[in-house]
Amino acid sequence: MKTDHTLASRGFRFGLLSSALLVAAAVGCTGQISGEPGGTPPGVTGGGGGSTTGGGGGGQSPVNGTDPGRIAIHRLNNLEYANTVMDLLGIAANTTNFQNNDGKGDSFDNIASEFGVTDQQYSDYFNSAVDIATRAFADTTAKGKVLTCTPAAATDTTCIKTIVQTWGLRAWRRPITDAEVTSLTKVVTDAMGMGVDGAGGIQQLVTTMLASPMFLFRIEYDPNPTSTTSHALDPYELASRLSYLHWSSMPDKALFDLAASGDISKDATLTAQVDRMLADPKGQTFTQEFAGQWLGMDTLLTHAVSAAAFPSFNDPLKQAMYQEGLLYFQEYLSGTAQMKDFFTNKVNFVNNALAPLYGVAGINGAPLQKVTNMAPNRMGFMGLASFLTQSSLDYRTAPTLRGFWVLENLLCQNIPPPPPNVPKLDGASTTAMMMAQSENVAVRLAAHRMQDSGCMSCHSILDPIGLGLETFDAIGQYRAKYDNGDTIDPSGVFDGKPFTGLPQLTAMLSDPSSTYAEELKECSTKKLMTYSLSRIMGDADQPYIKKIAYDWGGGSMKDLLKKVVLSQPFRNRHGETAM
């Protein structure tokens, strides 16, 4: 079987092979599936046109001239697949052999339009389904999650249908239709007719359901796949959006119960679920995945640091930096801190590996400890070693890269690539590069800008931010001078105003009167909506981004998350125009 992104837009029908030896892909859909890559939704007039028709679902009112957009059929990425199998059966799925399985778009690895399925990938999924079912039925606890009764014979369809309807609802994350119950029951009865016992027949059922598109994909249905009229999500679809946003996994019993009752569509229920799901131990997944990708902590894990330039750098130090970055965001997510505090809080998390880098004494052991007001020159997110390291080169700081990172990831500004054939700042040889790491990079950048006038416009925007952070070396350690003895001058101009060093730079970024204040709020909103909706934001999404950012006002990250969950784009969708 081979599918691509057009699969979702044209609809499809999968047949079940009932043979116990030929377990096929899926039960046939009773309706078409609409979906293709995200971006600018069709049928949007923009500006001040009439409100979106359809809608529903309560929450924020539609923004004039826009619609809530649509999400392509969404194959589970590796983490979502592994987490779902674990929550469903308590069995660890081995995804290491999946070939080219995870795509990435706009900084996040859950963008639906990035995921197709090749023949090889489906073969990997099928083999995985066989392996998982085999191990589950060899494990008493896992087997008990499925086998609530054991069919005594192929004629015992009451037991079989009970399992299909109960375990199947969890596996496919929605109620099983009558036609699907009939087809899935036949999988079991055919297997038993070929000589396997009742447990073996149910094992074939598990393999079939795990290898089906209804398990492998998050599918949302449109009553009319060719209509751009907005409609509310089915309660089970909304439950899945919530669970995969917070946990990168399937809904739990509480969400299934809320979907069954319909209460999940209520505003108060949705906001209460945000609190509950973040408080759950699995809520750490949101921090690891959203913050880890948005704020570059994942990049840090693969970032190389030159042992010759920084002999003290090692894996325990890198891991401590990574964990501190996540804990810092978690503080922003779970507490009362607002966006301005994200830039200015004097909160750090250190252990025996990270404390020496920060110049903190008296810290013992590997567990990270929270410290406050650690030093007058280090504060906020941009004072974290995780940010300062992953935005540097392996052998020296890179003020241009640090400035680029801030503008692109915190302000969502599009910075054009450098002109072709621009001379490199450092020499090509290893010796020249190692010498460069000890020199005054501000002087080198000034000379570089003079080499080509085409570089001046971008560097004049990027460099001042990075140069303001030059008192921190390429692994985030504070310094007052370069290795050649030159005193570091961390002064610059940002937002048309002069500043000196990180404290003044962060004060400017956190200033609500700054001309960048709205960009900061809208960028955070855009990043969260991109991750929450699993699609790239287009021009037609801007009115929603602006409205949510305005209503949020730069408060806590949890407040922003609740506003996104209550928004029309999170709770509604539509089909697409006919191709």
Are residues 28 and 183 in contact, defined by beta-carbon separation less than 8 angstroms?
Answer: yes
CA–CA separation, 247 and 80 (whole Å) = 8
For the segment 423-451, the average pLDDT, to the nearest whole number, is: 58
To the nearest whole percent, how much of the chain has pLDDT over 70?
79
Q: What is the pLDDT of residue 223?
A: 92
Using pLDDT thresholds of 50, 70 and 90, give the confidence band for residue 451: low
CA–CA separation, 108 and 528 (whole Å) = 10
Q: What is the pLDDT of residue 140?
A: 96
Alpha carbon of residue 563 to chain centroid: 17
Q: What is the pLDDT of residue 343?
A: 93
Q: How far apart are the first and last CA of the chain?
A: 23
Most confident of 192-196, 225-229, 429-433: 192-196
For the segment 69-81, the average pLDDT, to the nearest whole number, is: 92
Q: What share of the chain is helix, strand, coil (3-state, %, to 5)?
A: 50, 5, 45
Using pLDDT thresholds of 50, 70 and 90, give the confidence band for residue 422: low
Q: Judge whether residue 249 has pLDDT over 50.
A: yes
Q: What is the pLDDT of residue 411?
A: 93
Q: Judge whether residue 364 has pLDDT over 70.
A: yes
Using pLDDT thresholds of 50, 70 and 90, give the confidence band for residue 456: low
CA–CA separation, 95 and 85 (whole Å) = 11
Entry pTM: 0.86
Weakest-pLDDT range from 266-280, 343-357, 373-387, 545-559: 373-387
Residue type, 364: N
Are residues 243 and 235 in contact, defined by beta-carbon separation less than 8 angstroms?
Answer: no
Q: Judge whether residue 50 has pLDDT over 90.
A: no
What is the average pLDDT value for the chain, to the nearest integer? 84
Q: What is the pLDDT of residue 32?
A: 33
To the nearest whole percent, how much of the chain has pLDDT over 90?
65
Using pLDDT thresholds of 50, 70 and 90, give the confidence band for residue 488: very high
Q: Judge whether residue 409 has pLDDT over 80.
A: yes
CA–CA separation, 405 and 296 (whole Å) = 9
For the segment 92-106, the average pLDDT, to the nearest whole number, is: 77
Q: What is the pLDDT of residue 174?
A: 98
Q: What is the pLDDT of residue 420?
A: 61
Tell me the C-alpha to C-alpha distance, in Å, between residue 367 and each of 121, 355, 364: 39, 11, 8
Q: What is the pLDDT of residue 311?
A: 94
Selected residue with higher pLDDT from 45 and 406: 406
Selected residue with higher pLDDT from 230 and 36: 230
Q: Judge whether residue 333 has pLDDT over 60.
A: yes
Weakest-pLDDT range from 24-28, 145-149, 204-208, 326-330: 24-28
Q: What is the pLDDT of residue 428?
A: 55
Question: 10 Å Cβ neighbour count for 431?
Answer: 8
